[in-house]
A and B are shown apart, each in its own frame.
Chain A
Amino acid sequence: MRRVVLGPFNRVEGDLEITLDVEDGQVRSARVSSPLFRGFEQLLVGRAPQDALVIVPRICGICSVAQSAAAAMALSQLAGVEMPHNAVLSSQLIQATENLADHLTHFYLFFMPDFTRANYADRHWYAVVEKRFAAGRGTAASAALHARGNFLKLMGFLAGRWPHTLALQHGGSTKAMTAAERVRILALLREFRAFLETTMLGDTLENVGELTSEVSLRAWAAGRAGDFPCFLNLAFDLGLENIGHATDRFLSYGAYGLYGAGIWQVGQGVAAMEVNLITEDVHSAWLLGDRPLQPALGATVVDADKAGAYTWCKAPRYALKAAETGALARQMVAGQPLLDDLVSRHGGSVTARMVARMMELACVVPAMERWVTGIILGEAFFLASDLPDSGQGVGLVEAARGGLGHWLSVKDGHIDRYQIIAPTTWNFSPRDSEQQPGPLETALVGLPVGDSALPTLQHVVRSFDPCMVCTVH
């Protein structure tokens, strides 16, 4: 047995280090470490509750709006106020824009360049993929950045800017839409749809949304022009549908009124998600604590020299079990037939996680078009409300990479406790006090390691689209 330390792990958001125990060229066990600590939960204590709206987006530059939305939801609950119709739609649009732009960034900039490594030079698809996806010089990156940049212009109209907006508030949005802006927003959505259909997917969004099985997916991808079919063809060539299997326990808080909340488990299907079954365990983190705590009672106290600890990441558990969150979890909980078929055949995998993101691009853009036309110009986007001096609130939203939860407690007009569980905290969690590994730690076991090994491990890590800066808030 030998020990291998991998890092810095780039093309993920933030800092990641992975320690592997390797035998016979295969991973026997993995420890996932977040080597950066940020301390946002301490920073929030003592502030005015509404200051969370300024502070939490700055946890993460890639899930910035998701953090805003979770805080706005927790504050809305505290205030006992509901957003007006227009603000619900505007908020969905803002969140979907960030999440779908993330899917694009992940696919083109973070995930695909690994297939241009020289290890794959003998594959029949290599020349095409190398030219298209090489980091920093591939032809796809310019097209993708152009599409991403123009799509994010939705934020200019809806949220002032991205990242780090204050548009989402308890009680609604600071920005009403004008008739001219609605026309521009729909035009931007048409432009994004055109990019997806002609460049990324090679088919209409509606046709992609109707794929229901692995058989139909394989037939659809075969010989089709487009960056995503290109990925699918190489993924099936490499058998990535059999790689990256984690817990197959999928958690979603539900998104946009399109995808429901729930927990999906093998053999049991979907069950209702019960918030009080969520706990955090700090056994392997450089943090004080001796037992799993519900986040509403949680604390984040540094213990930098703790024996046996190897990360700044806590270990969230659902009913004391590790769970995976993200686009695949959203689709599994929603009962999407194609993902259900892929997972029932092979379990969760690199391919399934990527297909789930593609499915969201195909299905959420048409929904966004409906939301924009559903806004009633001239009606309110914001309802003023007072925050009570004391109370609690919980905000549960879906960031691109999965469920994001904020647990807020206010006393005497100031934040008394603020606990956050980010998506990658679930996926890249360390061992808990029962020695149960986190989802990525499980997914890495059995993968090849060594100078001649394919970079399979890189694909598995990035298939989760990790956000480490959120993880170590």
Chain B
Amino acid sequence: MRVLWLQSAGCGGCTQSLLCSEPRPLFDELRDAGITLVWHPALALESGDQALQILEDCASGARDFDVLCIEGAMLRGPHGTGKFHLMAGNGRPMTEWVQRLSARARWVFAIGSCSAFGGLSASTPGNPLQATGLQYEIADFGGLLGEEFVSRGGLPVVNIAGCPVHPGWVVDTLEKLALEGLQVGDLDELGRPLLYADQLVHHGCPRNEYYEFKASAKKHSDMGCLMENLGCKGTQAHADCNLRPWNGNGSCLRGGFACITCVEPGFESPGHPFQETRKLAGIPIGLPADMPKAWFVALAALSKSATPKRVRTNSMADHTVVRPAVKKAEK
């Protein structure tokens, strides 16, 4: 399976994250799964005219390829010209290249939340960059390629959202496609692969005991739950970050900071400071997915009143102050 990769208005962080793929080094992992890179801006040898020739051959149909991976938002500005990102050495807008190549690709993957939904580039008030994702402009279906777009393989754009993506989300989606194909039923309502988006960041959160008892962190570095005060939206974010750890043993929650729902469209402009929880009458406005408000309020009140001293004390410390009791063996 041949993969062509291009970058536009993004930070390159999805590629940098992808290079952290483990346990096997990325190149070995992909090669042995039968996946090859036709060209990649950070990894290929070919530069300048040679690179342009590869892209032109792919766009004209002279050279076959399977998956088009696009990293970074699409910039249509200023004034619809696309001049905010011209292909180096060629002078044509990147948006035009992406449209031509998308028409040829068997499958089109948006790599990261920028190419999926427009990212930070689309989040300046008034969107002066006229930035968009491939098939979504923030949460609105359409984007650069339009609502009608279906790639030759029969799918809309596959949105491997995340800021950045977890390397496993990309590798597993590519390998699933190579192994048994991808169907519409393998994607959620926003085009995200279910192999990571049918979970919530909350699942496997190491702070689950603090969540259960609503024992909340008051300041950064506290071990308590980050939902009540510090802006955590892990109960609403569709990803498996705490089941599929990052960089060995990490995740945002394990690192001590809030999930800012970087896999969701519009996470960039939440309408409140990212690391503060917006509340109404003391209750967080953003409730856990699928949970009616009355239940949450009742449960929170009950669990707060039943919080063990250990959990309450440790929730406001950066290391374990009160250890779990050790039960003496019965004779």
- What is the chain A residue whose CB lies nearest that of B52? A8
Q: Which of A91-144 contact B (CB under 8 A)?
A: 105, 109-110, 113-114, 116-117, 134-137, 141-143
Is A146's CB within 8 Å of the partner chain B? yes
0/1 string, A301-321, CB within 8 A of B gives 1: 010100000000000000000
Is A152's CB within 8 Å of the partner chain B? yes
Is B155's CB within 8 Å of the partner chain A? no
Q: In the complex, A369→B46 CA distance in Å?
A: 39
How far apart are A388's CB and chain B's nearest CB, in angstroms?
A: 15
List, in ascending order, chain A residues with CB within 8 A of B254's CB: 156, 160, 175
Q: Which of B6-57 contact A (CB under 8 A)?
A: 7-17, 19-22, 25-28, 31, 37, 40-48, 51-52
Q: A64-B13, A382-B220 are contacts. A37–B129 as well, Cβ < 8 Å?
A: yes
B48–A9 CB distance below 8 A: yes
Q: Which of A163-193 contact B (CB under 8 A)?
A: 163-167, 169, 171-176, 178, 184
B43–A152 CB distance below 8 A: no
- What is the chain A residue whose CB lies nearest that of B257? A166
Q: Which of A8, A113, A162 contacts B45 (CB 8 A)?
A: A113
Is A297's CB within 8 Å of the partner chain B? no
A6–B48 CB distance below 8 A: yes
- Residue with the highest number of chain A CB atoms closer than 10 Å, among B10, B48, B268: B48
- What is the chain A residue whose CB lies nearest that of B112? A61
0/1 string, A31-58, CB within 8 A of B gives 1: 0010111111011001010110111001
Is A215's CB within 8 Å of the partner chain B? no
A15–B88 CB distance below 8 A: yes
Q: In the complex, A153→B247 CA distance in Å?
A: 5
- Residue with the highest number of chain B CB atoms closer than 10 Å, among A10, A164, A176, A458: A10
Interface size grouping (class) on chain B: 35 or more
Q: A61-B11, A62-B16, A304-B83 are contacts. A141–B318 as well, Cβ < 8 Å?
A: no
Q: A35-B88, A378-B319 are contacts. A160–B22 as well, Cβ < 8 Å?
A: no
Is A255's CB within 8 Å of the partner chain B? no
Q: Which of B117-125, B173-181, B195-203, B295-303 contacts A (4 or more CB under 8 A)?
A: B117-125
- Residue with the highest number of chain B CB atoms closer than 10 Å, among A113, A164, A382: A164
List, in ascending order, chain B residues with CB within 8 A of A384's CB: 219-220
Is B274's CB within 8 Å of the partner chain A? yes
- What is the chain A residue whose CB lies nearest that of B83? A304
B257–A160 CB distance below 8 A: yes
List, in ascending order, chain A residues with CB within 8 A of B249's CB: 153, 156-157, 184
A51–B164 CB distance below 8 A: no
Is A269's CB within 8 Å of the partner chain B? no
- Residue with the highest number of chain A CB atoms closer than 10 Å, among B27, B125, B318, B319: B318
How far apart are A89's CB and chain B's nearest CB, in angstroms?
A: 14
Is B313's CB within 8 Å of the partner chain A? no
Q: In the complex, A43→B48 CA distance in Å?
A: 32
B220–A149 CB distance below 8 A: no
B25–A146 CB distance below 8 A: yes
How far apart are A278's CB and chain B's nearest CB, in angstroms?
A: 24
B42–A110 CB distance below 8 A: yes
- What is the chain A residue whose CB lies nearest that of B94? A36
Q: In the complex, A51→B275 CA distance in Å?
A: 8
Q: A61-B16, A381-B318 are contacts. A160–B251 as well, Cβ < 8 Å?
A: yes
- What is the chain A residue whose CB lies nearest that of B166? A161
Is A450's CB within 8 Å of the partner chain B? no
List, in ascending order, chain B residues with CB within 8 A of A109's CB: 19, 42-43
- What is the chain A residue whose CB lies nearest that of B11? A61
Q: A40-B120, A43-B124, A156-B254 are contacts. A149–B129 as well, Cβ < 8 Å?
A: no
Q: Which of B86, B129, B274 contacts A39 (CB 8 A)?
A: B129
Is A17's CB within 8 Å of the partner chain B? yes
List, in ascending order, chain B residues with CB within 8 A of A114's CB: 45
- What is the chain A residue whose CB lies nearest that of B39? A10
Q: A136-B27, A161-B250, A381-B221 are contacts. A167–B255 as well, Cβ < 8 Å?
A: yes
Is A194's CB within 8 Å of the partner chain B? no
- Residue with the highest number of chain A CB atoms closer than 10 Å, among B13, B15, B31, B40: B13
A13–B42 CB distance below 8 A: yes
Is B85's CB within 8 Å of the partner chain A? yes
Q: In the complex, A377→B10 CA distance in Å?
A: 38
B45–A134 CB distance below 8 A: yes
B26–A145 CB distance below 8 A: yes
Q: A39-B129, A61-B12 are contacts. A175–B255 as well, Cβ < 8 Å?
A: yes
How far apart are A442's CB and chain B's nearest CB, in angstroms?
A: 21
A39–B124 CB distance below 8 A: yes
Is B256's CB within 8 Å of the partner chain A? yes
Is A148's CB within 8 Å of the partner chain B? yes
Is B246's CB within 8 Å of the partner chain A? yes
Q: Which of A7, A149, A166 contacts B25 (CB 8 A)?
A: A149
A-B CB contact pairs (8 Å), 13 listed: A11-B47, A36-B85, A38-B129, A46-B125, A48-B276, A54-B275, A61-B12, A153-B250, A157-B250, A165-B257, A178-B319, A304-B83, A380-B221
- A binding-site residues for B, Cβ under 8 Å: 5-11, 13-17, 33, 35-40, 42-43, 46, 48, 50-51, 53-55, 58-62, 64, 105, 109-110, 113-114, 116-117, 134-137, 141-143, 145-146, 148-150, 152-167, 169, 171-176, 178, 184, 302, 304, 377-378, 380-382, 384, 458, 469
- B binding-site residues for A, Cβ under 8 Å: 7-17, 19-22, 25-28, 31, 37, 40-48, 51-52, 75, 78, 81, 83-90, 119-121, 123-125, 128-129, 163-164, 219-221, 245-258, 260, 262, 268, 273-276, 318-319
A8-B41, A150-B248, A166-B257 given; 4 more Cβ-contact pairs under 8 Å: A9-B89, A53-B275, A62-B16, A165-B255
